């Protein structure tokens, strides 16, 4: 991936340890790769860890059809939406705290939520 692997915060490690990993090591590897790609800064935080939640249906993945640029944009938006949802979940719906966890101003979070239909 040619990206420096950030450190894991204690909360991120707890989130990884708490998951059942029904997809075993392959699912863990994918979750860590995604966290490395989406992490801001040099520490992976709990909000960067996207794993399934008990009782939650499998998320739909963006289409791979079309141009490379179109596909990349759909996946970028899906990643942003997932991170925002996780931040909101982790903050108990507190948008101010979610914005802080995501490292963006509250106004930008609100704008992204509107763009992404969250």
What does R_g of the chain's alpha carbons equal in angstroms?
A: 14
Classify residue 50 as left (phi > 0), alpha (psi -120 to 50) or beta.
beta
Q: How many DSSP H helices and E strands does the chain contain?
A: 5, 2
d(CA 112, CA 107): 9
d(CA 61, CA 14): 26
- What pLDDT was estimated at residue 58? 45
Nearest to 16 by CA among 3, 2, 1, 35: 35
CATH of domain 1-54: 1.10.8.60
- What pLDDT was estimated at residue 72? 86
Q: What is the pLDDT along the chain (118 residues), one digit of tens a residue?
A: 567 777 888 888 888 887 777 667 888 888 888 888 777 778 888 878 877 644 444 455 677 778 888 888 888 888 888 889 888 888 888 999 999 989 999 999 999 999 988 8
CB neighbour list of residue 9: distance below 8 Å, 6 or more residues apart: 43, 44, 45, 46
What kind of fold does domain 63-118 have according to CATH? Arc Repressor Mutant, subunit A (1.10.10)
- Residue ranges of domains in the chain: 1-54, 63-118
């Amino acid at each position: 991936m040619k990206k420096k692997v950030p450190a894991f915060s204690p909360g991120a490690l707890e989130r990884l340890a708490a998951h059942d990993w029904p997809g075993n090591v392959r699912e863990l590897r994918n979750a860590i790769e995604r966290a490395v790609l989406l992490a801001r800064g040099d520490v992976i935080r709990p909000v960067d860890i996207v794993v399934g939640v008990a009782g939650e249906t499998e998320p739909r993945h963006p289409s791979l059809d079309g141009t490379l640029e179109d596909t990349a944009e759909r996946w970028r938006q899906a990643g942003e939406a997932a991170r925002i949802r996780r931040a909101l979940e982790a903050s108990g719906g507190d948008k101010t705290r979610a914005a802080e966890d995501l490292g963006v101003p509250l106004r930008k979070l609100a704008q992204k939520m509107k763009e992404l239909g969250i």
